[in-house]
């Protein structure tokens, strides 16, 4: 059970209700009125708990789990212990997400502006927005409804849509790294754009998003950004992108929709990444990437070629060691 100091469980909920919310199908003989008390991971769950299996690395946990209920794919039902009530879903992770949301309030926005927050009197803040202690909202900023601005975050020179979650320590809207290099003293280029954050965006802790230099920096609707990410000035992210922790995207680069960028990737400035492209963790991108491409390495290449290269190098080193 989640620690009641931090979380409040709204269970029990019936199997029928969970199936309705998640689209899962209960095993034929299961009684839809049976009550599920709570959710828990396979390794920690007991008889009243609903768990899930998605990543097959955890198949062993399934076999030994004491969970009373489990969301999983049809192909894994025969790996479950006898007596476990199985709720079959094509997407057990998404189904678990929806079930867990039913059991636990997601930390509602609550419409509470902390007395420890600093909100400029010229900022416009929508309905049901939570602003935590230490957060700083600058002059002229517009924040839509149902947003959270986390502890110690600072936002300036930006327009923020609805249902946006800005995590603690995020920095939005400061000057980009824009200057004409000069041995007599770098000459600052005034940064005259804004940051536009569209609806349903999440921005992880201590991530930095610089405002545009002239055009705006834009974070497309439904895009999720992890912690400690750097987004340079004029960058445009499409809709539904996933940007993993510690990625750096240089100025004026544009990502299409649904691009997935692995952790610690670096992307050069002024390049375009096509819709649906996927970039392996730690890659370095120095040119345009086509829509749908799956790439890795530095400079990035098709992921398969990059793997081949790694295997080839390992073999060559082995051959040299053995004197071939």
Map the footprint of its own copies across residues 64-83, applying CB under 8 A.
none
Quick one: which of 194, 190, 177 has its CA closest to 140?
Answer: 194
Smallest distance from its own copies to CB 294, Å: 15
Note whether 248 binds its own copies by CB under 8 A.
yes
Nearer to its own copies, 189 or 291 (CB): 189
Smallest distance from its own copies to CB 127, Å: 20
Note whether 133 binds its own copies by CB under 8 A.
yes
Candidate ranges 24-32, 61-69, 72-80, 116-124; the one touching its own copies (CB under 8 A):
116-124
Consecutive H or E run containing 88: strand 85-88
Smallest distance from its own copies to CB 250, Å: 6
Note whether 245 binds its own copies by CB under 8 A.
yes
Question: Count of residues binding its own copies (CB under 8 A)?
Answer: 112
User: Can you read off the two tokens belonging to residue 319?
Assistant: 């051959």
Q: At 303, is the secondary structure helix, strand, or coil?
A: helix
Nearer to its own copies, 244 or 289 (CB): 244
Nearer to its own copies, 29 or 184 (CB): 184
Helix axes 15-22, 92-103, angle to 10 degrees: 120
Q: Which residue among 33, 64, 106, 121 contacts its own copies (CB under 8 A)?
A: 106
As a whole number of angstroms, the distance between CA 117 and CA 253 comes to: 33
User: Can you read off the two tokens belonging to residue 175?
Assistant: 């000057």
DSSP states along 233-269:
TT-EE-TT-EE-TT-EE-TT-EE-TT-EE-TT-EE-T
186 is catalytic: no
User: Can you read off the two tokens belonging to residue 248?
Assistant: 């750096």
Q: Which residue among 109, 162, 217, 250 contacts its own copies (CB under 8 A)?
A: 250
Adjacency order of strands within the sheet including 154-155: 118-119, 136-137, 154-155, 171-172, 208-209, 230-231, 248-249, 266-267, 284-285
Nearer to its own copies, 15 or 201 (CB): 201
Note whether 93 binds its own copies by CB under 8 A.
yes
Give the x/- contact pattern for its own copies in 15-34, rule: CB under 8 A.
Answer: --------------------
| Active site (catalytic) residues | 233
């Amino acid at each position: 059970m989640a620690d009641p100091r931090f979380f409040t469980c709204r269970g029990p909920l019936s199997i029928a209700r969970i199936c309705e919310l998640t689209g899962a199908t209960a095993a034929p003989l299961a009684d839809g009125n049976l009550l599920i008390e709570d959710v828990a991971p396979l390794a920690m769950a007991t008889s009243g708990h609903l768990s899930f299996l998605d990543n097959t690395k955890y198949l062993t946990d399934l076999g030994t789990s004491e969970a009373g209920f489990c969301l999983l794919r049809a192909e894994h039902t025969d790996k479950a212990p006898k007596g476990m009530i199985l709720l079959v879903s094509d997407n057990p992770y998404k189904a678990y997400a929806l079930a867990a949301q039913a059991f636990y309030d997601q930390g509602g926005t609550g419409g509470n502006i902390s007395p420890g927050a600093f909100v400029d009197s010229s900022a416009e803040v929508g309905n049901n927005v939570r602003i935590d202690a230490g957060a700083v909202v600058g002059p002229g900023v517009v924040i839509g409804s149902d947003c959270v601005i986390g502890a110690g975050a600072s936002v300036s020179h930006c327009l923020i849509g609805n249902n946006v979650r800005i995590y603690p320590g995020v920095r939005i809207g400061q000057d980009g790294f824009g200057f004409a290099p000069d041995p007599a003293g770098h000459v600052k280029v005034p940064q005259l754009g804004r940051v536009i954050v569209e609806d349903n965006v999440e921005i992880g802790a201590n991530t930095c998003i610089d405002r545009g230099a002239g055009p705006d920096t834009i974070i497309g609707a439904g895009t999720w950004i992890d912690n400690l990410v750097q987004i340079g000035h004029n960058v445009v992210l499409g809709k539904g992108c996933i940007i993993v922790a510690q990625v750096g995207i240089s100025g004026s680069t544009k990502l299409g929709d649904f691009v997935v960028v692995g952790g610690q990737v670096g992307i050069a400035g002024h390049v375009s990444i096509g819709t649906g492209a996927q970039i392996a963790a730690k890659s370095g991108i120095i040119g345009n990437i086509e829509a749908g491409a799956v790439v890795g390495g530095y400079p990035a290449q098709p992921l398969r070629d990059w793997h081949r290269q790694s295997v080839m190098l390992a073999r060559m080193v082995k051959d040299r060691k053995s004197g071939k």
